[in-house]
């Protein structure tokens, strides 16, 4: 936080821009904090403050978001959701479609946002945070974290088709980076999250690890080698796993997981 020293040698926090204060307090990213302000959801000493030049003194001013007092001592929020099918990865939708925002504690953490996205019909792990720098670091092109998916597909990819995926296939928006891909054996396939009540005849389960994050990438890559994706589930995002988190529920990250993410953020922003 910003500090200054008085003429008597006492150190104190100097006033800072309100959106910077909110971001530092872990309420939202800087941009997300500005959106909260313009929506009239932020008050300083009881008065709505929506102008971008507004400043606060963290030692004397009382800042609230949706009526909840916010302090710099608070830590950013980090949680993972086991996303069900049938939800879009946005925090609101003008058409009234089900959004992931309804599944996570947005009232307690008003600046919560999803890091990346999952398709409407894709299930699995989705990271949420109020730490804007963390979100940018994890999605930065120079530091895409690995993401592992399991996909139920029509047919069974051959060794040659798997080799194509491992070498990197060509999509309409350019070549893909090489991806780790393997057909799961019968026991592992039956345990995969995409299998509900048995494997339909003529299908198989493929495990695939991506190092980038393009729209519909897994579905498009498997389509290139001739296998339509019937169901898709993401079971890990970088170092994070669901760890028993039931579909539609969420859990907070533990201290070890947060420290690992902080290391990734530090490497990316260095």
Shared-domain flag, residues 25 and 135: no
Residues 39 and 63 in one domain: yes
119 is catalytic: yes
Same domain, 249 and 233: no
- Can you give the pLDDT at residue 3? 43
Which pLDDT tens digit goes with each residue over 33-72?
899 999 999 999 999 999 998 999 988 899 999 998 988 7
The pLDDT tens digits for 174-205 are 999 999 999 999 889 888 899 987 889 999 99
Q: Are residues 26 and 55 in the same domain?
A: yes
At 5 the pLDDT is 40
Number of domains in the chain: 3
Q: Which pLDDT score is estimated for 36?
A: 92
**Residue that terminates a domain, selected from 70, 89, 111:** 70
Give me the torsion for CA of 71, 74, 78, 83, rounded to 10°: -50
Q: Do 58 and 43 share a structural domain?
A: yes
Domain span at 216: 146-237
Are both 128 and 161 inside the same structural domain? no
pLDDT of residue 37: 94
Residues 83 and 94 in one domain: yes
Residues 151 and 220 in one domain: yes
Question: Which one from 119, 133, 146, 188 is the annotated catalytic residue?
Answer: 119
Q: What is the spatial distance between Cα 268 and Cα 169, in angstroms, rounded to a whole number?
A: 27
Identify the segments of the chain with pLDDT beneath 70.
1-14, 73-74, 141-143, 268-270
Residues 174, 217 within the same domain: yes
Q: Which of 269, 195, 270 has the alpha carbon at shortest distance from 232?
A: 195
pLDDT of residue 185: 94
Residue 133, pLDDT score: 80
Q: Are residues 46 and 176 in the same domain?
A: no
């Amino acid at each position: 936080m910003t500090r200054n020293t008085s003429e008597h040698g006492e150190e104190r926090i100097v006033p800072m821009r309100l959106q910077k204060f909110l971001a530092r307090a872990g309420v939202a990213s800087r941009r997300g904090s500005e959106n909260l302000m313009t929506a009239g959801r932020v008050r300083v000493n009881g008065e709505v403050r929506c102008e971008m030049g507004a400043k606060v003194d963290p030692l004397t001013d009382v800042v609230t978001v949706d009526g909840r007092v916010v302090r710099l001592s608070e830590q950013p929020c980090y949680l993972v959701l086991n996303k069900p099918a049938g939800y879009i990865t946005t925090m609101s939708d003008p058409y009234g479609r089900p959004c992931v925002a309804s599944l996570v504690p947005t009232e307690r953490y008003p600046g919560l946002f999803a890091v990346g996205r999952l398709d409407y019909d894709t299930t699995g792990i989705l990271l949420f945070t109020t730490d804007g720098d963390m979100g940018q670091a994890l999605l930065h092109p120079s530091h895409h974290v690995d993401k592992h998916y399991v996909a139920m597909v029509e047919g069974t990819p051959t060794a040659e088709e798997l080799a194509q995926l491992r070498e990197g296939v060509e999509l309409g928006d350019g070549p893909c980076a090489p991806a780790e891909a393997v057909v799961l054996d019968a026991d592992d396939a039956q345990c995969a999250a995409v299998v509900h009540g048995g494997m339909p005849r003529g299908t198989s389960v493929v495990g695939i690890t991506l190092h980038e994050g393009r729209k519909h990438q897994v579905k498009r890559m498997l389509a290139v080698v001739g296998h339509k994706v019937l169901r898709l589930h993401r079971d890990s995002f970088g170092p994070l796993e669901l760890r028993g988190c039931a579909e539609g529920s969420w859990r907070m990250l533990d201290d070890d997981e947060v420290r690992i993410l902080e290391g990734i953020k530090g490497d990316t922003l260095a």
